[in-house]
Structure 1
Amino acid sequence: MNSKSVKCPVFDGTDYGWWKNRMMHFIQGTDYECWVIIENGPLAITTTNANGVSSVKAPKNYTSDDYKKAEKNARAISLLQSGIGKSETSRIAESKTAKQIWDSLPLAYEGAVQVKKQRIDLLMQQYENFKIHEDEPIKSMSSRFSSINNELSNLGRQFETKDIIRKILRSLTKKWRQKVTAIEECRDLATLTYEALMGSLMAHEITLENDVEDKPKLRVWP
């Protein structure tokens, strides 16, 4: 495939690991020498005096070979900048070389990625251990569960609706066993929506409350 036909991946501040891997291969396929410059630093443009001491050569003294090195260094920077979205350019504003740009990004994002993973691990533990509290209203249970599920979704950890339905049913206490069995036997869990499940559980909750109210009280004999 012609490298010119491959679209440069653009980093927008999310999913840094994915972008880093894609960008590395994109640059290698476009100009491998630029990738070497990004990894190891710019091509040196120096001059050596009579005493054998090297120093950076002034642009006014560049030879044609020096200009080629300067252009290659600039191309490495340009390739990286092409893959960094407008919202993230402030993070590389102080970088003078392609290597400085590349090395600065992990400091900002790989630490954030680790924090994200830890947060996902904590929320997954809460998700897996989720249970309705004894005598907790369905509305309250739903609110607690949605809070966990929504945060996981925002962090990129999403579940299919059918899996969420099964998780809710497993979280209910023994007094819900008859209703859970009825739902599992009479409803297609693959097509049942979360809203429909909550509506069904809330309706049954009213029935359970009425049964408690209608239950005759034990008479205390003198």
Structure 2
Amino acid sequence: MKDMKEGFPTNKPPLFRGIKYDYWKERMIAHFESIHIDLWDVVENDTLTVTYKGTSQVKRNTLSLLTCNHELSFMKEGEDIQCMFGHFQTILNELRSLGRTYDNYDYIDKILRSLSRKWRP
């Protein structure tokens, strides 16, 4: 809902909590465009983009680290399947946001290979 103050419509910008930068950015672009079409251009060159989206080198390093985490992940002792699945899903979502995807076959294969002995036939 928009409030009227001194004749200008105001609405609150989306709050950035340090995660899901791409999602926040799209919402923020829409917010700024509702105020002035060129306003996002000013913000895009700000430190937020470098800090949370990263330079190409930061992006490559993050992608490398997440890929390694994915490859070395396994079900921990005492961990239930839901927790393990959530952990894998978090890593895959982060990888996807950086452009790396895995097909369902690879994803299922990785989960099955990562199960503890207790869950294996």
TMscore range, shorter length: 0.5 to 0.7
1:119 is aligned, of 57, 62, 69, to 62
Gaps of 5+ in 2: 1-21, 23-37
Larger radius of gyration: 1
Instruction: Say what the alpha-carbon RMSD is for the aligned residues.
Output: 2.4
Distance in structure 2 (CA, Å) of the matches to 1:137 and 1:127 = 18
Distance in structure 2 (CA, Å) of the matches to 1:177 and 1:167 = 13
1:156 is aligned, of 77, 95, 99, to 99
1:168 is displaced (CA, Å) by 0.3
* Structure 2 equivalent of residue 132 of structure 1: 75
The one-letter code matched in structure 2 to 1:128 is E
The one-letter code matched in structure 2 to 1:153 is R
1:173 is displaced (CA, Å) by 1.5
Bigger helix fraction: 1
- The Cα offsets for residues 88-110 of structure 1, whole Å up to 9 and x where unpaired, read as 7448x9xxxxxxxxxxxxxx7xx
| Superposition TM-score, scaled by structure 1 size | 0.31
- The Cα offsets for residues 126-176 of structure 1, whole Å up to 9 and x where unpaired, read as 000000001211111111111101000011100001100000001011122
* Structure 2 equivalent of residue 176 of structure 1: 119
Q: Which runs of 4+ in 1 moved over 6 A?
A: none
* Structure 2 equivalent of residue 147 of structure 1: 90
The one-letter code matched in structure 2 to 1:125 is C
Pairs aligned (count) = 77
* Structure 2 equivalent of residue 217 of structure 1: none
The one-letter code matched in structure 2 to 1:121 is S
The one-letter code matched in structure 1 to 2:90 is S
Alignment of 1:31-42 (within 5 A): none
Distance 1:172 1:90, change over 3 A: same
Distance in structure 1 (CA, Å) of the matches to 2:40 and 2:63 = 24
Give the SS at the match of 2:75.
coil
Distance in structure 1 (CA, Å) of the matches to 2:76 and 2:39 = 44
| Superposition TM-score, scaled by structure 2 size | 0.56
Gaps of 5+ in 1: 1-13, 15-85, 94-107, 179-222
- The Cα offsets for residues 20-65 of structure 1, whole Å up to 9 and x where unpaired, read as xxxxxxxxxxxxxxxxxxxxxxxxxxxxxxxxxxxxxxxxxxxxxx
Distance 1:112 1:165, change over 3 A: same
Alignment of 1:60-139 (within 5 A): 89-90=41-42, 112-139=55-82
